[in-house]
Amino acid sequence: MRSNAASRFMFPLALLIACPLWADQGGAGEQPAPALSPTAAAYRNQCDTNLDRFQQDFRQLESIEAPYNAGRVLAPLNAFELRLGDALNQSSLYESVHPDADVRDVARDCTAAFNNLATRLSLSRPVYEAVEAVNVAGEPADTRRYHFVTLRNFRLAGVDKNDETREKIRALNEEITRLGQLFDRNILEDVRYIEVDTEELVGLPEDFIANRPVQENGKIRLSTRYTDTIPVYTYARSDEVRRRLRQADRSRAHPENREILEQLLARRHELARLLGFDNFADYITADKMIGSADNARAFIRRIHKLAAPAAEKDVERLLAELRKTRAKADTVQRWQAMYLEEQIRKSQYQVDAAELRQYFSYAKVRDGIFGLVTDLFDVTIKPWHTETWHPSVESYEMYRDGELIARFHMDMHPRQGKYQHAAAFTTRTGIAGEQLPVSTLVCNFAGGSDPDTPMEFSEVRTFLHEFGHLLHALFGGHQRWAALSGIATEWDFVEAPSQMLEEWMYDRETLQTFAINDQGEPIPGELVAKINEARHLGEGLTVSIQMYYAAMSLEFHRLPPEQFDLLDKMLELEAEYSPLPHQEDTYFYANLGHLNGYSALYYTYMWSKVIALDMFSEFEKEGLRSTELATRFRDRVLAPGGTRPASELVHDFLGRPYNFEAFAKRLKGEL
């Protein structure tokens, strides 16, 4: 998931949402949009024109006179939020994926300008007072929900403060936006490399080696992109190559981002104090399911304690494997863990990730996921012939009962200047009867030049995860109110649907529909059974390390910034939560992009995981191919968007409140 939260906007902020970008949209009331590949000058002109219009519209919003009712106040506010949100997230998308560096630079300026206007809206006393005066007692439930969410966001933004304080809040939000953009840009643009001899690549798949040409100096370059790091960490026998590559990867954007992050944390802390909170962590969790920083801290500690026994066993197994080649080893290093896990899977479970790759070409995985979604959710996916920002981008339309309900793009392969991780971008906010939802999946898998390029099994999981976000945005993107459309539930729930969809990658029936090698042979059922036997290897260790990330995210925003040093606090938390030692000369705080986008909210991944496994337990009872249950999930969890609190959506699906039972059993190896 990808966030663009600099301040509390009136429109949804859980995912990048936006942009009436695409021509030939079709659908009721939809308007043609600008080209997807403008020059930098044309795009700047477009942004300036939009900004002028938005400022005029904003002045009109502030001039609304009594009587204050839903039609006179909420409707024009909704229209403004939709247009501004779409423009903001067009620029946010361009920042992350556009191949033209000049366009990306313009997009950063546009994003800042639109963010600043969103901040002005959130602090507008005239608009707030008009909304507050609206009586929604007789309005439909979704209107009442929109009214409640809007007032809550206004108040959390600081609209009730005096003029001087609101001006300070506005200035701080602008500075937070600027610093966050710098932080992200440094990570995006800092791709590092190491050079190795050919013989140092022993253990890596032949196709991986063949696709990396020898340079004039006789060396092979390995990058810090996922397409290199995951295979190297998994297969390379050379401990030194793995160490060097991870050292380069975890040092990206250092030292530049140290000072930027220090400033960002200081500005956020100052903002929270102005708004009446003890710290930014309390502020940003106030409207989430978890409710407060103390609750988040207690949750992190609870999960850490729950995972500790499993993590200890995982480390013992890894150390035993390491001692097969290093008899006197007493510690497993971070760059060794994935490789050692792979050796255990091969020797003890007869699961060889290198051999698994033959069943997972990019094209087959893509088509298999489409097939799974088609079968479960009663939709049809067809190619969408439309302009895109790069030739490798694929575009599709989604139909249900013959009716076009959504569109999406897939930008799935790495290139220079592109966002380096995996994310789902809500690209156009769907509004019932007005415009269809459009989302964009952004990943960095091999296969750009050859769709038959094999994928790692872990990449299949990532694909499914991000596609879960995509489905949430598309199925939920048919509301009347922009702030409730798409992925508009509480932020600490949005990962749950995507994490639940990951579970299908372990289902034999599902895998055998698309996991097929070049000889036309589906993955053997016996191999799928072995994959499932091995799937919990390292899970306790993974959860513990995730809690380290969550603790760092939370504590950086909970503590007064002048009271700690970034590196010292990171090392302290790593020692407390991670079962593996710190790798010297690495600076993860400088390249953990979530520290900008998620701020204190990294805990949401594990919070959502608890809910995801509880929801998935229903499929385990009724069958993973149960279309009846999938329809219930689609209609009760995904389709409502943000029209109801997440806890109610889950209760409606489960018939009870969610609990920790399924998650605890998973950690104990009982599932």
Residue 8 in this model has a pLDDT that exceeds 70: no
The pLDDT tens digits for 188-241 are 999 999 999 999 999 999 999 999 999 999 999 999 999 999 999 999 999 999
Q: Sorting pLDDT into bands at 50, 70 and 90, what band is 31?
A: very low
In Å, what is the CA distance from 87 to each residue of 17, 156, 403, 489?
A: 9, 24, 27, 21
**pLDDT value of position 17:** 25
**pLDDT value of position 449:** 84
- Check residues 3 and 522 and name the one with the higher pLDDT: 522
Phi, psi dihedral angles at 662 (to 5 degrees) = -65, -40
**pLDDT value of position 670:** 55
CA–CA distance, 417 with 332 (Å, rounded to integer): 34
Residue 9 in this model has a pLDDT that exceeds 60: no
Residue with tokens 């929604």: 136
Query: What's the start-to-end Cα distance of the chain, in Å?
Result: 27
User: Are 11 and 429 contacting, i.e. CB atoms less than 8 angstroms apart?
Assistant: yes
DSSP per residue, 106-165: HHHHHHHHHHHHHHHHHT-HHHHHHHHH---TTS-HHHHHHHHHHHHHHHHHTTTS-HHH
Q: Sorting pLDDT into bands at 50, 70 and 90, what band is 671?
A: very low
CA–CA distance, 69 with 57 (Å, rounded to integer): 18
Section 502-529 average pLDDT: 96
CA–CA distance, 462 with 420 (Å, rounded to integer): 13
**pLDDT value of position 666:** 85
- Please give the mean pLDDT across all residues of the chain: 93
Residue 138 in this model has a pLDDT that exceeds 60: yes
Nearest to 337 by CA among 321, 357, 359, 360: 321
User: Are 435 and 20 contacting, i.e. CB atoms less than 8 angstroms apart?
Assistant: yes
Residue 32 in this model has a pLDDT that exceeds 80: no
Residue 12 in this model has a pLDDT that exceeds 90: no
The pLDDT tens digits for 424-442 are 998 999 999 999 999 999 9
Paired with 516 in beta bridges are 522
Residue 14 in this model has a pLDDT that exceeds 60: no
**pLDDT value of position 114:** 96
Q: Sorting pLDDT into bands at 50, 70 and 90, what band is 3?
A: very low
User: Are 151 and 129 contacting, i.e. CB atoms less than 8 angstroms apart?
Assistant: no
Section 100-122 average pLDDT: 96
Sheet strand arrangement including 380-383: 380-383, 394-400, 403-411, 438-442, 423-428
**pLDDT value of position 28:** 38
User: Are 369 and 377 contacting, i.e. CB atoms less than 8 angstroms apart?
Assistant: no
Residue 592 region by backbone torsions, left for phi larger than 0, else alpha for psi between -120 and 50, else beta: beta
Which three-class secondary structure state does DSSP give residue 380?
A: strand
Count of other CB atoms within 10 angstroms of residue 349: 16
The pLDDT tens digits for 229-242 are 999 999 999 999 99
Q: Sorting pLDDT into bands at 50, 70 and 90, what band is 1?
A: low
Q: Which of 153-162, 448-457, 649-658 has the lowest mean pLDDT?
A: 448-457
DSSP code at position 399: E
Q: In this structure, which long-range contacts are made by residues 159-167, counting pairs with CB atoms below 8 Å and at least 24 apart in sequence?
A: 159/122, 159/123, 159/124, 159/125, 159/128, 160/128, 161/274, 161/275, 165/274, 166/123, 166/125
Residue 320 in this model has a pLDDT that exceeds 80: yes
pTM score of the predicted model: 0.92
CA–CA distance, 408 with 469 (Å, rounded to integer): 12
Residue 664 in this model has a pLDDT that exceeds 90: no
**pLDDT value of position 35:** 54
**pLDDT value of position 448:** 85
**pLDDT value of position 447:** 84
